[in-house]
Amino acid sequence: MSEETAPKGEKLQKVLARTGVGSRREMERAIEAGRVTVNGQVAELGERVTGEDHIELDGRRLPAAEENRCRVIVYNKPVGEICSRHDPEGRPTVYDRLPKLPSGRWISVGRLDFNTSGLLLFTNSGELANRLMHPSSVIDREYLVRIQGQVTDEMKKHLLEGVLLEDGVARFTDIVESGGEGHNRWFYCVVMEGRNREVRRLWESQGVRVSRLKRVRYGSVFIPSNVRVGQWIEMEPKEIDDLCVTAGMPKLGQRPLTQAERQNLQRQRRKLRKPPARRKPPKG
């Protein structure tokens, strides 16, 4: 197709998802429901738009690209938080500690259950979140797990070859022992999917119990050593570009951070370096 006949702009639902107001599927439904307008006219599914178009969702203007750069944060989730925005039981959620966005919303890249801690990625880009979670991206996730019970070589062989769970065959791609004593031992293990409670179910299929579970890596992303439990750190534009490559997307090539954005990032990172307050010993 020549440049003259190539369609201009991007599909509307893709542009909407990238701003973080919802997933691409959610935006397709919003367009079909007549909730989206382009330049004052009700939009149609598949319509293409450019940066010059005035787009509204439910009567609110879509933020311009300059106002809504792609952002990603790495959160060190503690045990005892859920990955929903609201909980009927009033339990704390992972969103309680996240910074406020001027527009859009934070989208969790996958989930960790209530009793699992460790690395959790958040982004304001629905497109990036979907690509990172999609099985076609083939991104590995590494966990540190403490097992109660005897783990044999035969058991590890089964877990590496594949075990039939209720939702299909699952397997670890790697298992490395990491210390411990007796029937309480630590292992690093890697999965290539993000199924619900997959790591726990794999180990439990072998008759042992998972007493601790922490995600330590998502693709090439690790929790920085200075990010303590319950803290987060924001990625820089170059790190986000590397994450896009991991997800099979082209680099975004975003503008450099403004002076104010750079100062905010540096201020937040200085907070991470501060050691936790120590209790004073009682006077003798």
Last-in-domain residue among 187, 222, 257:
222
Question: 56-65, 78-87, 151-160, 172-181: lowest mean pLDDT where?
Answer: 56-65
Q: Do 92 and 52 share a domain, yes or no?
A: no
Q: Do 50 and 128 share a domain, yes or no?
A: no
The per-residue pLDDT for 2 is: 45
Tell me: pLDDT of 205 over 60.
yes
Q: Do 79 and 218 share a domain, yes or no?
A: yes
pLDDT bin (cut points 50, 70, 90) of residue 196 is confident
Question: How large is the average pLDDT for residues 125-144?
Answer: 91
Q: Do 46 and 25 share a domain, yes or no?
A: yes
Question: Is residue 46 domain-resident?
Answer: yes
pLDDT bin (cut points 50, 70, 90) of residue 278 is low
The domain total for the chain is: 2
Question: Is residue 243 domain-resident?
Answer: no
pLDDT bin (cut points 50, 70, 90) of residue 7 is low
Q: What is the CATH number of the domain that holds 218?
A: 3.30.2350.10
Last-in-domain residue among 222, 254, 275:
222
Question: How large is the average pLDDT for residues 83-87?
Answer: 89
- 28 lies in which domain range? 10-61
Question: Is residue 66 domain-resident?
Answer: no
Contacts for 57-65 with beta carbons within 8 Å, 24 or more apart?
57/16, 57/21, 57/30, 58/30, 62/15, 62/16, 62/19, 62/21, 63/19, 63/102, 63/103, 63/104
pLDDT bin (cut points 50, 70, 90) of residue 1 is very low
Structure tokens at 40: 């004052």
Question: How large is the average pLDDT for residues 62-89?
Answer: 84
Q: Do 44 and 119 share a domain, yes or no?
A: no
The per-residue pLDDT for 137 is: 87
Question: Is residue 262 domain-resident?
Answer: no
Q: What is the CATH number of the domain that holds 46?
A: 3.10.290.10
The per-residue pLDDT for 94 is: 95
Q: Do 196 and 81 share a domain, yes or no?
A: yes
∠ CA 111-158-173, rounded to 5°: 50
Share of the chain above pLDDT 70, in %: 91
The per-residue pLDDT for 263 is: 86
Q: Do 55 and 196 share a domain, yes or no?
A: no
Question: 54-63, 91-100, 201-210: lowest mean pLDDT where?
Answer: 54-63
Q: Do 208 and 137 share a domain, yes or no?
A: yes
Q: Do 122 and 195 share a domain, yes or no?
A: yes
pLDDT bin (cut points 50, 70, 90) of residue 283 is low
Residue 116 CB-density burial (10 A; 0-12 exposed, 13-18 middle, 19+ buried): buried
pLDDT bin (cut points 50, 70, 90) of residue 19 is confident
Last-in-domain residue among 23, 41, 61:
61
Tell me: pLDDT of 65 over 80.
no
Q: Do 57 and 76 share a domain, yes or no?
A: no
The per-residue pLDDT for 257 is: 78
pLDDT bin (cut points 50, 70, 90) of residue 152 is very high
Catalytic residue among 58, 87, 113, 174: 113
Active site (annotated) includes residue 113: yes
Question: How large is the average pLDDT for residues 212-220?
Answer: 95
